Structures are given as structure tokens and as C-alpha cells.
Structure 1
Amino acid sequence: MAEVVEVLSRRQGSATFAELRTVVSGRAIRNALLAGQVRRTAKGVYALPKAPTAMAAARSHGGVVSYQSAAQHWGMKLITEPLIPHVTLPPTKAKRRASQERCVLHWADAPALDDVTTPIRTVLDCIRALPLSEALAIADSALHQEIVDADDLQTAAARLRGPHRRRIQRVVALADGRSESVLESALRAILIEAGIDGFEPQVAVRDRAFSARLDLGHRAAMIGLEADGFEHHSSRRQLIKDCRRGVNLTLRGWRVLRFSWEDVIYDASWVAASVAELTGAPPLTNSLLRAA
């Protein structure tokens, strides 16, 4: 039975009966199942009790992990984690009704590595399906962590055909590996959709006596935007440091607006209006970038 568990562990928690039988006996599989060391997720598919849900679901349905679930697998950062796994099946494959694994099913010819869509395909799929803020956060994260290469991603987007092609290519062109957090990416998405130009990620403000970086900065207008997550001001020392930093930026002519997670994620219109008022740019809606 230990052999069965070991094989499944090497297979990221799940495998078909045929794959198991190449290294263990049928009796060992049955005994492990009776002992509760493995579970049957579909006809001829077995998994560890605590196997990664997305991988078990993909193999149970005969597909591959995809979309946000694949983004999680590759280590990309997400604003919202999927409630249930996403799985992509070949176009001609029918849904397995006997599968016990709940998931969101997609049908497409999707390139994959070890039963997960490739990093580039994952980014393109997420851009296709998600609102700009969430799509940009995943694309920025993939570039920032060097999970995908910018040139390779743009080449793949340029080769796309079919629905949403133009939107995907536009979002890929907007993706920026300088962004250091999903909240920063979401804040930038708000500006893009509002038609507010001139801001770029991680703008440095330096002189002989001071050095800082702004999450987003408008160099010409000397306006900075900060996206403050839950961890901000995590200690008294950090609070003092941030207060001193804010004063130093103001003394150097920078006007800085700080936005919380709740502001950026739940009140985008107010964020856009606030930035527009400070810059003098009337906010507009860029419908091309909205998810279809």
C-alpha cells in the first residue's frame, strides 16, 4: 500500500489505474483503496485523500488544469482564487458524468505540461475570461516572476485567431513586469479603463538625501499613487517610516494618493474619479478592455 501512496505522491496526488499498474500490483491498489489511503475520483482514476483538487479534477475528467487553477499551479498571483478548479478538455471529449470532482469545464486544444496548460497559454486564457484588473494582475505577476517571457507572450498573442483576439493582444501589450503586487496591477487597470494616461509602475524618486519608489507615478505631473494592502503599517516602526516617507515626498513636490484594498477592489469608480480630479483628466470608459 505504501508503494501506491508513493507513486501517487510523485504524480502530484493522482493517476489512472493503467499508470499505477505499470509500477504496482492491482491487489496493492485495491488494498490501498479499502484502507482509505487512496480514493477513486472517477472510473479508473485514483487520488490521495488530500491530493491537489485541481489536478485530481483534471485527471478525473481526462483533461488538464487550466485558467486560474493553472495560474495558481505555476505560482502566478491572483486577486481572487477560484472557488472550484478549472479544467480544459479536448474539443471532442465528452464530460465524464461519473467523476466525483466538481470543476468548471472548458473545451479547447490547449498545450500543456504535466497535465497543466503551459504558462503562456494560462496567461492568455485568463486574459480571455477575466475582467481587466484580474487579467492584468496575472499577466503582470507572470512577467515579474519571470514565469513567462514578454517577447514569447506577445508572439503567442499575435498568433491568436478567433473571438477576443484583439482584446487579448491589447491586454498583453499593457502587461508590465515592473508591477510588484496584484493590488498595484488592479490600480493600474482602473486608470487604463478610465482613460487616465501618464502613470507607470515603480517610479523612483531619488536625490542625495532621499530615495523612494512609488507604486505608480506620473513623472510630469509629479503625482504618485500607492496601493496599500493588508500588511501595510504592520508595525509601529513601519508606520513611522511611512509617515517620514510621505513628508519627504511632499517636500519634493510630489502629491501622493493612497488607496486601500477595499478602495481598489470594491470602489473603482471613486478611485478613478479621485485620480482624474487631481490630474485634471476626465475619466472615460475603455470598453475594448472589458471582459466579453
Structure 2
Amino acid sequence: MIEDYLRDHDGVITLAQARAAGLSDDAVGRRVRSGRWLRCSPGVFFADDRPFTDGSRIRAAVWSHGPRAVASGLSAAWWHGLTSFAPAVVEVTVPRISNHRQRPGVRTRRRNLAPTDIVERKGLRITALPLTVLEAAVRRGGGAKLMDGALQRQVELPQLWRAHLRNKGRHGSPAASRLLRAADDGARSEAERILVKLLKNARITGWKTNYPVGGFKVDVAFPDLKIAIEVDGWAFHSDSEVFVKDRQRQNVIALLGWQVLRFTWLDLTEHPARVIAEIKFACR
């Protein structure tokens, strides 16, 4: 029974779990003294006959903060499969009344979570998917891309809004609110505003917005150079009909002798320097 438990839980076990499986405190102590079990923290052990994986590290960190602790942020994102690599620092959310000390390699946040914002996966308590997406999206460089991917495949925008409103005031809440507003209002219009701001900050001149070309309105145009810049929103806003119409529109503009540059909301928010460099190269 103990071996099955260790196999299913990344080699990590708590004293309470060992007792529930029938081991006495003396039996646990013998395993620790013999080196078969390593003490990760008071009451949390790792069986030293297997590799200490990222799963082991995250599980041990969460369990070391007690039965009400929850993996959150990028730790929960990795556990959900939203990211490919586990974070170097494990984020653990505990109730406000907890008095656990900070541990090396662990970032502890004190917040009371609603039951609907907690799920159990592979025996570990983690933040539910909507809250995890929100928290992870503002904790990494490619956060907007993470949220976009989740919206395409795993979660709906109203779910993200509800999780956000339940947890207002948390770390990263203002940044998450901006991402949600961009998605809610239509990322394309938000992207157009960001592009205009980038052009102004780069002191690039000679452009006009909503410029008529071939019966269409180009998002940003350099009429003298016949350069048209088209802006796309997040992928989850697109469908096949919109995709076809956008390509037909681009072909008409190109056949009239215009050079067309396309940028996405993610290009503008994650790689603004590259966007400006490409526009400057086209205008040289």
C-alpha cells in the first residue's frame, strides 16, 4: 500500500498519510534514520529510491504548508499542463491565518480561496483552471499567449471573468484585468490602439489610420509609400469565415500595388521592438 502510494504521488508522503496507511511513527522514524526516506520538511518525506522530479518538488513544497495549501501561479499552470516547464520557484497559496515561514525555492501567498477555485489533480490541491490561467498569464513573459491558448482550447472568457471578480485584489490583478478587457472589447481594436501608440513613441510619421484602399479600410497606411498595416486580434476571436475574408481583402490590396504587413495583438504586446523594426525596414 505504501509503495503504491509513493508511486502515484511522485515519491512524496506526509506523516499523516503514512499513519493512515498503517505505519507507526516509529516505523516512519526507522525509514528516515536508515536513509530510505528523506525529510523534505517537518512531516513531509521523500522515498530516496527514485528520482526527485519536478512533480516531487512541487508536491513536497505544497504539502509542507499543510493540508489546506494549494499550488498556484506557474506551479499550478504546469500541473494543469498549460506550460511545458516547471517553474524554479514553487508558488503556494495558503489561508490568511497560516503562519508558515518562507522556505527556499517557495513563494508563499496568503489568501482565502473560494472552494470553486480549488481542484485536486493527481492527489494535489491546485488552483482551478480559470484562476490558474489568470495568475500564470501575468507571471511570465508570454502570459498573453498562454491566456490566448487556454481560451482556444480549455476555458471560456466568462469563466475567466468570474474567477477574476472572485479574487480581486490578488497579486497581478490589474494586469489580468487589462488582458480580460482587451479580449472582451475585441483584441483587434485594442491592437490598433497599441500600434498607434508604438508608432508615435517611435516618432514614425507619414501614416494614417482607417485609410481607404480598394473599397476597404486599411488599419494603418503609409499612402506615399503604399504600405498597408493590418492588425489581427487574438486567435480565439477568429473563425474560418473571418480568416477567408481577411485574406481576400489582403489580396485585393496587394494587387493594387500595396505592400501589406500583418501583426497580431500578441506581436504588438510581446514583441513591440520587432514590430517597429519591421515597419522601419519596409519604410526605408
Normalised by the shorter chain, which TM-score bucket?
0.5 to 0.7
Q: Offset of 1:190 from its aligned partner?
A: 8.6
Matched residues in 2 for 1:279 and 1:158: separation?
43
Paired residues in the alignment total: 225
CA distance in 1, matches of 2:193, 2:110: 31
Q: Quote the offset at 1:275 in angstroms.
A: 5.6
**CA distance in 2: counterparts of 1:205 and 1:142, whole angstroms:** 19
Alignment-derived partner of residue 4 in structure 1: 2
Decide whether aligned partners of structure 1 residues 85 and 162 sit closer, same or farther in structure 2, where only a CA change above 3 A counts. Answer: closer
Q: Which structure has the greater CA radius of gyration?
A: 2
Q: How large is the RMSD of aligned CA atoms in angstroms?
A: 4.5
Q: Is the 8 A contact 2:232 2:262 kept in 1?
A: no
**What are the Cα deviations for residues 109-145 of structure 1, in whole angstroms up to 9, with x where unaligned?**
1332232111112122234x436x5321221232233
The Cα of 1:19 is off from its aligned counterpart by: 1.7
Q: Distance in 2 between matches of 1:117 and 1:165?
A: 15
Match of 1:58 in 2: 62
**CA separation in 1, counterparts of 2:5 and 2:148?**
36
Deviates more, 1:189-198 or 1:25-34: 189-198
Higher relative contact order (CA 8 A, sep 6+): 1
The reply to whether residue 157 of structure 1 matches residue 176 of structure 2 is: no
Please tell me whether residue 273 in structure 1 is matched to residue 276 in structure 2: yes
Structure 2 segments unaligned to the other structure (5+ residues) = 198-218, 220-230
Q: Secondary structure at the match of 1:15?
A: strand
Segments of structure 1 that go 5 or more residues without pairing to the other structure are 177-184, 207-212, 224-249, 281-292
| 1:166 CA drift (Å) | 5.0
Structure 1 residue 118 corresponds to structure 2 residue 124: no
Residue type matched to 2:180 in 1?
V
Q: How does 1:123-272 map to 2 (within 5 A)?
A: 123-127=133-137, 129-130=138-139, 133-146=141-154, 148-162=155-169, 165=173, 167-175=175-183, 193-194=194-195, 198-201=231-234, 222=250, 255=260, 268-272=271-275
Q: Which residue of 1 aligns with 2:112?
A: 109
Q: Could you say if the C-alpha distance between residues 107 and 193 of structure 1 is closer, same or farther in structure 2, counting changes exceeding 3 Å?
A: farther
3-state SS of 2:64 partner: helix
2:12·2:44 contact (CA, 8 Å) conserved in 1? yes
- TM-score normalised by L of structure 1: 0.59
Query: Normalised by the size of structure 2, how large is the TM-score?
Result: 0.60
Q: Percent identity?
A: 20
SS in 2 for 1:24: coil
More moved, 137-146 vs 113-122: 137-146
Which residue type is aligned with residue 8 of structure 2? Answer: R
Q: 1:278 & 1:154 partners in 2: Cα distance?
A: 40
